[in-house]
Amino acid sequence: MSVRGLTRLTKRFACPPAYTTRRGAMYCADSLQHLRLMPADSVDLVLTSPPFALVKKKAYGNRDAERYVPWFMDFAVEVRRVLKDTGSFVIDLGGSWLPGVPVRSTYQYELLIELTRPGRFHLAQDYFWYSPSRLPAPAEWVTVRKVRVKDAVNTIWWLSKTPFPKAGNERVSLEYSEAMRRLLKNGCKAGKRPSGHDISTGFRKDRGGAIPSNLLVISHTSSNDHYLRRCRTTETPIHPARFPADIPLYFINMLTDVNDVVVDIFAGSNVTGWVAEHARRRWLALETDRTYVEGSAFRFESDCPPPDNEFIGSRKEVTLRRLRVKSTPRRLPTGRTRNEAGAARLPKERGAA
């Protein structure tokens, strides 16, 4: 069974999909092999959370830190080829510790350097996912010897094929804080501040929400959702490293339009495809472990509720603000289209500096 709009991407695939939905298809297949079969310039967003380079081996498989970069770069070459010029590559990648010592590995930063060498990707922006509910780890250094603090942040690299991928932060605004609501109600005095910032009268305009920062605060505390319940009742293995729906919800809405193509090359329990389906994007997911593929189908059952964001954005004390996902009929700009003259001047200004 083919999915409308995905036939061009998958027509060279030798195997049929494990299942299809109205907008997407899940394949139990090697993602590197199948990326090579996909046409160039055909994908709007590749969003994935690959296996991390952890000291402790996981059931889903993970590479050693010293071999991680060359292993991942094979995938990166093909991702860049299949991306459109306006497309993005988003990677959620947790850190790692060196074996036997309380010292951090730098593998994710080494990977970033390789990914952004000339002729590869541009670093559109670095993000950091902070999970307040993360358990203390690694136990040896945090809870036993007490010489380190718990590791509660993942890096997320937003990469692009060109300097101007399409994007719009209006799509992922945050609820205003109480302080901002008071400012909108009472007003503020325009003018230059001691910091040098020039506050204009436009600062007092209610734009429906606040611009988010690159710190994503997501607790990720779900322990009894539809996917987990169905896995338990059918004795299907639960994927141990699911990322929260908030992450694909944020980037899919910020970086793609309705009917754009979203691909996850390390799909696991297919959170990306599930979110893309409800966001009205076409999607393609690839995962090698058949048991995880089978379990991921539970997300698309008729009685499975749609994904809902927890909390995301800046954190003040213990109050977190909800993400306000906006859907607009206009297509996303690339930066050049928003201010053609200003964007055209950027290279000249940088060269002059």
pLDDT of residue 147: 95
User: Rounded to whole angstroms, what are the CA distances from 109 to 121, 203, 242?
Assistant: 14, 36, 22
Residue among 17, 31, 88, 92 flagged as catalytic: 92
Which of 17, 31, 44, 50 is an active site residue? 50
| The pLDDT value given to residue 260 | 96
Going 262 to 265 to 269 to 271, the CA torsion angle's sign is negative
Question: Which residue bears the tokens 């510790």?
Answer: 97
- Which one of 17, 31, 44, 49 is the catalytic residue? 49
Q: Can you read off the two tokens belonging to residue 129?
A: 């996912």
Q: Looking at residue 120, what is its pLDDT?
A: 97
Provide the pLDDT for residue 10: 95
User: Catalytic annotation on 92?
Assistant: yes
Pairwise CA distance, residues 35 & 27, whole Å:
12
Q: What is the pLDDT of residue 70?
A: 94
Tens-digit pLDDT profile for the chain (353 aa)? 457 779 999 999 999 999 999 999 999 999 999 999 999 999 999 999 999 885 455 454 455 677 899 999 999 999 999 999 999 999 999 988 888 999 999 999 999 999 999 999 999 999 999 988 888 988 999 999 999 999 999 999 999 999 999 999 988 887 776 665 666 666 666 666 676 666 655 556 666 677 889 999 888 777 789 999 999 999 999 998 898 999 999 999 999 999 999 999 999 999 999 999 999 999 999 999 999 999 999 999 999 999 987 666 654 443 556 677 766 556 788 876 555 544 444 444 334 33
Cis peptide before 138 (omega within 30 of 0): yes
pLDDT number for residue 221: 73
Please tell me the distance from the alpha carbon of residue 341 to that of residue 72, in angstroms, as a whole number.
38
For residue 114, how many C-alpha atoms fall within 13 Å in the half-sphere facing its CB? 16
pLDDT at 327: 61
C-beta separation of 343 from 336 below 8 A:
yes
Reply yes or no on whether 50 is catalytic.
Answer: yes
pTM of the predicted protein model? 0.85
Instruction: List the domain boundaries for the chain.
Output: 9-175+210-352, 178-209
**Quick one: fold of 9-175+210-352?**
Rossmann fold (3.40.50)
pLDDT at residue number 342? 46
Q: Please give the pLDDT value at position 262.
A: 98
**Residue 207 DSSP class:** -
